[in-house]
Amino acid sequence: MELIGKMFNAFHVARDEKITHLERVPLFEDCSLRQLRAVADISTVVEVPERTVLTRAGEPGDEFFVIIDGTALVTLSPQKRHRMQPGAFFGEMSLLDGEPRSATVKAETDLRLLVIDRTHFWRLLKEVPGLTEKILVTLSRRVRQVEEPRGT
């Protein structure tokens, strides 16, 4: 599902407002104002209603998402589910490796998202030094969580 392509309740948000949202996101906490401006310039703010499926496991994906407001439910398998809160991000794996989505993510509440498409995502990684490292650390943690035996 491409949210930007559907223009799903997308609206114009001033760069300064995007920067205010980005400053609250742990992924971007070490970014300079110049870097935050670069992120703001290539992102779109989208609002989606609760129960909207944002990504579906096994389907291709061309967008990276950061939750600004609301919560989403991530389903990796029937036994592996967790909730994502504001500041969390998802969708980076498909953009990095070109493979289908690894999880289904559904809006648990109405959501406000910052969305960056594939082309802009790669530009973002080049323009914001240190962001690649943060994403890799997060990916490593996610892999470890998936590999943990049930009940631990």
Spans of all domains in the chain: 3-147
Banded model confidence at residue 7, pLDDT cuts 50, 70, 90: very low
CATH architecture of structural domain 3-147: Sandwich (2.60)
User: Mean pLDDT across the stretch 21-37?
Assistant: 83
* Bridge partners of residue 77, in order along the sequence: 80
CA atoms within 13 A on the CB side of 107: 21
Angstrom distance (rounded) from CA 152 to CA 128: 36
129/54 Cα distance (integer angstroms): 28
Q: Is the dihedral of CA 33, 34, 37, 38 positive or negative?
A: negative
The pTM of this model reads 0.80
Please report the DSSP string for 53-96 in residue order.
EEE-TTS---EEEEEEES-EEEEEETTEEEEE-TT-EE-HHHHH
Q: How confident is the model at residue 151 (pLDDT cuts 50, 70, 90)?
A: low
